[in-house]
Amino acid sequence: MALAIDLSGRVALVTGATSGIGAGIAHMLAKAGAHVAGCGMSEPGSPKASAFKSAITTTGQRAFYHQTNVESPAELEAMVAAVVAEFGRIDILVSSAGRNVFKGAENCSEAEWMGNMDLNLASHWRLAKLCKPHLEASGHGMVQIMTSNHAWASIPGCFPYNVAKTALTGLVRSLAIEWGPKVRVVGIAPGFIETPGNDEWFASFPDPSQERDRTIRTHPAGKLGTCEEIGAWSAFLASDYAAFATGTTYLIDGGRLALLQDS
């Protein structure tokens, strides 16, 4: 039989599951057999929430959606309680919700700094803590935290997003050494992924397809990443094949960071 990732019977909670990378991860975890609870900013009956649910149920798995602003500790608490009421367990937490906060070091206000740290750093820690007892009871408990290639190298103006994403690699290490062996904790650091946000980025150029081609040429892989590829990586990391993977962050950037000079 071919090697297969089997997450049957496990329950995954994926934040930011209504779009982009979180949606790709939710779908791939379901394809590997997990039931998936997802959250996002969209209302429960909205097209995005419905699309999330049908992407999961078409794989034969159960889906549950909870509208949650991860910046709110009270909403995080309510979401975890609702997921446990629905499924009775949480085995895999994928903390993916986040947003670009690109202000620049000089122009960033105190409020923008605090807002970024709440969303792109503290929310991951708060949610992991709320899930910890359920992950410990799982027997396969694991946390995946979505950081970024900006944790290694950044672009002028991407402050303070890159600061929070860099700090997440420290969060991954602390949770792994304090919560192991019952709970594994890894970071996932995607590079340039085909997402709605990056489509908008290309669309902001006078010639979007020329800019896309130029960007692709800076990637040794000869392509941009896809949400499904990040999802497959997430499914592997959640599986027992990755039982030795904890305490580190995996960069998946098509080789971009390996390239010292753009031609």
Ligand X SMILES: NC(=O)c1ccc[n+]([C@@H]2O[C@H](COP(=O)([O-])OP(=O)(O)OC[C@H]3O[C@@H](n4cnc5c(N)ncnc54)[C@H](O)[C@@H]3O)[C@@H](O)[C@H]2O)c1
Q: Can you name the residues that pair with 92 across neighbouring β-strands? A: 12, 142
Backbone angles phi, psi at 36, to 5 degrees: -130, 125
- CB atoms < 10 A from the CB of 213, how many? 10
Output 71 or 86, the one with its CB closest to ligand X.
71
**Has 161 been annotated as catalytic?**
yes
| Cβ within 8 Å of residue 135, ≥6 positions away | 90, 91, 93, 141, 142, 143, 179, 182, 183
Output 135 or 224, the one with its CB closest to ligand X.
224
Backbone angles phi, psi at 51, to 5 degrees: -65, -40
Size, binding site for ligand X by CB under 6 A: 30
- Residue 238 interacts with ligand X (CB under 6 A)? no
- CB atoms < 10 A from the CB of 126, how many? 18
- Residue 71 interacts with ligand X (CB under 6 A)? yes
Given its phi and psi angles, is residue 255 left (phi above 0), alpha (psi -120 to 50 degrees) or beta?
left
Q: Which residue from 199, 103, 77 is spatially nearest to 155, judged by alpha carbons?
A: 103
**DSSP category for residue 98:** -
Output 34 or 193, the one with its CB closest to ligand X.
193
Give the shortest CB-188-to-ligand X separation in angstroms.
Answer: 8
Restricting to residues 174-193, name those near ligand X by CB under 6 A.
190, 192-193
Closest chain position to ligand X (CB): 20
Output 68 or 246, the one with its CB closest to ligand X.
68
Give the shortest CB-221-to-ligand X separation in angstroms.
Answer: 14
- Residue 148 interacts with ligand X (CB under 6 A)? yes
- Residue 197 interacts with ligand X (CB under 6 A)? yes
- Residue 61 interacts with ligand X (CB under 6 A)? no
Which residues carry out catalysis? 161
Binding site for ligand X (CB under 6 A): 15-22, 39-42, 68-71, 96-99, 119, 146, 148, 190, 192-193, 195-198
